[in-house]
Amino acid sequence: MDLSVVAGTVPEPTTDSINAAVKAMQEAGGADVIVSLGGGSVMDVAKCANAVLMNGGSILDYEDGAEGQRPISKLLPHVALPTTAGTGSEATIWAVFIDPSRRFKTAIQSPDLVPDAAILDPELTITMPPHVTAGTGMDALTHAIEAFVSIYANPLTEALCVKAIELVARNLRTAVADGGDLGARTNMLIASYMAGLAFSNSSLGIVHTLAEAMGGYYRIPHGVTNALMLPHVMEFNASATPGRFATIARLMGEDTGGATTDTAAEMSWRAVRRLSEEVGLPQTLRQVGVRKEDLTGMIAIADKWANLSGNPRDVKREDIEEIYLRAY
């Protein structure tokens, strides 16, 4: 059996990363199966390259929601081995990338993009540095929380989200502090996978809307942008479904006994912010180099992003601006 290695995928991959992968696969004489070994960026490039290799054209022909969007009709078998615990790409219908020409983070989607097999091996994640463990872990938490409060949530996705939130709350600190703890690493991989299954079926909300807009302007790791926006969006959304946020507080380990539903809901985003601080992630947009003059462009992009559809509270452009400013 011949094996060709396509290396060099960059974090937060671009159209160039995908084009390079397609070219390498073509020069190798095609493929019978694709194996992606890496984090979400590697798995997403594998998905995108698979689509282009097997269906022709360029990756932007398959962009979700684009005019004249090209269908993905055939794909090679894909086996995913995640080395991070956050994106859940090994379980999702999505593949995300940046189009630098538009400073725009976009995606393709199809049920067929879900890898044919996912191997969750905690030993593949033990070399993740603490800051990567923290960012990817908060990414998994964001997926679980957004899917849990989505207007498209259903009993199946709710069950997946409940366990995923609980697993992150109990294991992320340990995984960051002691990367060799295989128990914590295993639980984070499971949480990431479960959250990926959940949001593939219930969509997400405006945490991702704001994070993706930011990611198109700056090469900030996706998990970090999610962690920055998550508590602010939770605070904004809580009035739409306070009972859900009260449940999140309990899953995060908060003692909500005797508290009103609204008070318990407030405890949820405070617990999330505290977890983010304790695993060493930045807490403001200023800390990651976001320029205030870029907010107008980011707001315009976020205002059009599809993830608004699953958000439990109606969102106006001025709401997006206010949330960004709170996080600034």
Closest to 146 measured CA to CA, from 93, 87, 74, 204: 204
User: pLDDT of 52-85, one tens digit each?
Assistant: 999 999 999 999 888 889 999 999 999 999 999 9
How far from 12 is each of 42, 58, 79, 100, 111, CA to CA, in Å?
Answer: 9, 18, 21, 11, 22
At 1, is the pLDDT very low, low, confident or very high (cuts 50, 70, 90)?
A: low
User: pLDDT of 163-189, one tens digit each?
Assistant: 999 999 999 999 999 999 999 999 999
User: pLDDT of 180-236, one tens digit each?
Assistant: 999 999 999 999 999 999 999 999 999 999 999 999 899 899 999 999 999 999 999
As a whole number, mean pLDDT of residues 304-311 equals 76
The pTM score is 0.95
Q: What share of the chain is helix, strand, coil (3-state, %, to 5)?
A: 60, 10, 30
Number of H helices, E strands in the chain: 11, 5
How far from 110 is each of 65, 70, 95, 145, 183, CA to CA, in Å?
Answer: 12, 11, 9, 23, 33
Closest to 326 measured CA to CA, from 228, 213, 226, 242: 228
Angle in degrees, CA 53, 195, 167, rounded to 5: 140
Domains detected in the chain:
15-118 (3.40.50.1970), 129-327 (1.20.1090.10)
Closest to 208 measured CA to CA, from 325, 327, 105: 105
Q: How many whole angstroms separate alpha carbon 73 and alpha carbon 266?
A: 46
